[in-house]
């Protein structure tokens, strides 16, 4: 299992490097594909598909709106990055109304909790993941900035694991994730802050046109690490609520997209917002 997990992790990092370094249309297609899979995993976990897991109207609406969402964001970025935000809000509102239409005109086929779960899954998966694309393509130095997300998520997770193994004694959420400790969480937050400072000093401030203050980088790293931990635990809570082990089997040794990208999904919007505010975007 460890060998499989390690090899899958290496392959995943290699793919991420290639895709984010290339950017452009390739990145848009990959993020869209990942969003579709994440949405399907979430709706399956939340039982939006029904007992037989057959395609349902709420799921189909969510998939169609995901396609519309990414298509319009791509067009908006091609015109002007600031134009992407009102487009995002319009598509999100259109998705909400579409789910309401399904609820009303198929009543009582779908329960209210299924419709609400479908909208939740759309926001949680496709919309949150889109900030990776916005961060990479929306800034002139996006090719450098996007790696902050992975430092906040995967970097902090590694730091938290190491500190937790070494000195972890007090359980953080014993009913949700018994292996996570308060000491590990603190180590992850401080570790991410340090990683952000080092990356900012040696990469961002050296090879880009922008300059970030090191204290600001540390705060952004700590905030990113904190929300990434919440994202990890939130994804675990959904699994516990619905009594499933993994969201899928796409990534050997890791599970599904939501099992591997649970922290990345939540860290991406926070890092994007922090960079946007820091640069007066």
Q: What is the pTM of this model?
A: 0.92
DSSP state of 82: G
Q: What is the pLDDT of residue 6?
A: 62
Q: What is the pLDDT of residue 101?
A: 96
Helix H or strand E segment including 179: strand 177-181
pLDDT tens-digit readout, 121-131: 999 999 999 99
CA neighbor of 268 nearest in space, from 152, 99, 113, 139: 152
What is the predicted pLDDT for the residue at 52?
Answer: 56
Give tens-digit pLDDT for 165-202: 888 788 888 777 878 888 899 999 999 999 999 999 99
Cα–Cα dist 253/267, whole Å: 23
CA–CA separation, 50 and 55 (whole Å): 8
Give the pLDDT of residue 178.
78
Tell me: the pLDDT tens digits for 221-239? 999 999 999 998 998 898 8
Q: Identify the band that residue 3 occupies on the pLDDT scale cut at 50, 70 and 90.
A: low
Q: Which residues of 135-157 are buried (b: 16+ CB within 10 A; e: fewer)?
A: bbbbbeebbbbbbbbbbbbbbbb
CB 237 within 8 A of CB 100: no
């Amino acid at each position: 299992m460890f060998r499989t997990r390690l090899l899958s992790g290496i392959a995943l990092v290699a793919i991420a490097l290639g895709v984010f370094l290339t950017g452009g249309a390739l990145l848009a297609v990959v993020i869209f594909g990942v969003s579709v899979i994440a949405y399907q995993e979430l709706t399956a976990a939340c039982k939006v598909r029904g007992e037989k897991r057959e395609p349902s109207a709420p799921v189909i609406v969510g998939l169609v709106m995901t396609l519309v969402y990414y298509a319009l964001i791509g067009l908006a970025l091609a015109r002007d990055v600031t134009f992407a935000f009102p487009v995002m809000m319009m598509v999100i509102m259109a998705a909400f109304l579409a789910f309401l239409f399904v609820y009303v005109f198929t009543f009582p086929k779908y329960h209210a909790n299924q419709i609400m779960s479908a909208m939740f899954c759309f926001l949680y998966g496709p919309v949150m993941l889109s900030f990776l694309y916005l961060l990479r393509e929306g800034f002139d130095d996006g090719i450098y900035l996007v790696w902050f997300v992975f430092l906040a998520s995967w970097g902090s997770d590694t730091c938290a694991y190491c500190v937790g193994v070494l000195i972890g004694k007090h359980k953080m959420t014993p009913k949700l994730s018994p292996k996570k400790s308060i000491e590990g969480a603190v180590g992850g937050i401080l570790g991410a802050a340090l990683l952000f400072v080092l990356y900012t000093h040696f990469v961002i401030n050296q090879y880009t046109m922008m300059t970030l203050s090191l204290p600001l980088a540390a705060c952004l790293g700590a905030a990113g690490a904190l929300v990434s931990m919440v994202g990890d635990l939130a994804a675990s809570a959904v699994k516990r609520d619905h009594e499933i082990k993994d969201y899928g089997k796409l990534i050997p040794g890791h599970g599904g997209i939501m099992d591997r990208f649970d922290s990345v999904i939540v860290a991406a919007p926070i890092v994007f917002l922090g960079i946007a505010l820091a640069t007066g975007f």
